[in-house]
Structures are given as C-alpha cells and as structure tokens.
Structure 1
C-alpha cells in the first residue's frame, strides 16, 4: 500500500485545491464546535429552568399545606 501523497507539503497542497479543501474542513469544524457550544448552553438553561420550576412547585405546595387556622395563629403570634 502506498501513501496518496509523497510528502507532507503535497498533502497540505492537496493537488492545488488546498484553499477549498482546508476551507471546507475549517467551516465544518467551526460548525460542529458551534453546535456543541449551543447544545451545552441550551442544556444549562434547560436544567436551570427545571430547577426553578421545581422550587416554585415546592413553595406552592408548602403554602397550600398551611391551614388557614395555623396561618391566622402564626400571624397573631407575630404581632
């Protein structure tokens, strides 16, 4: 099996099409990096939103579990 290019310089020159080949490689890698970054940021935002919603639900459940009589006595004690 023989290599496709006789030297590294020939490999990087890509038979005279180096500009197009390496530009397409760079655009592809930048697109993938952008997609990875966007996905990570969106995941963090989604997790934060879920945590906020869960905390809100806990607060709502806690406020509903307080009976009106207990709330009135707690209010009287605070005065």
Structure 2
C-alpha cells in the first residue's frame, strides 16, 4: 500500500497534480453560482433605484 502512495518516487508531483485538479474543478463548479448571486444582487439594486426614482417625495 505504501508503494502505491509513494508512486515510485513521483508521489509529490502526482498528488500535487491531483490536488490542483480538484481545486480547479471545485472553482469551476462554484464560479457560476457566485456569478449568478452577484448578478441577482446587482439586478435587485437597479430595481430598487428605479423604484425609488419613480416614487415622488422620497430621498435617495
């Protein structure tokens, strides 16, 4: 079993490659979710400003 994890002397390169791959895969999966949240937040802000402009007598 230890021979498997040692990878014939290339363990550091192999396991670092696996770690980088999974980090990139995680970022690739989470980026669209973060982008969607940011866009929704911006849209809500724009809608609130537009609504505030429409209402007379508000201070903004």
Aligned residues: 57
TM-score, with structure 2 as normaliser: 0.60
Q: Which consecutive segments of 4 or more residues in structure 1 shift more than 6 A?
A: none
| Residue segments in structure 1 that go unaligned for 5+ positions in a row | 1-7, 64-70, 72-79
Which protein, 1 or 2, shows the higher relative CO under an 8 Å CA cutoff with sep ≥ 6?
2
TM-score, with structure 1 as normaliser: 0.51
Larger Cα Rg: Structure 1 or Structure 2?
1
Deviation (angstroms), 1:37:
4.9
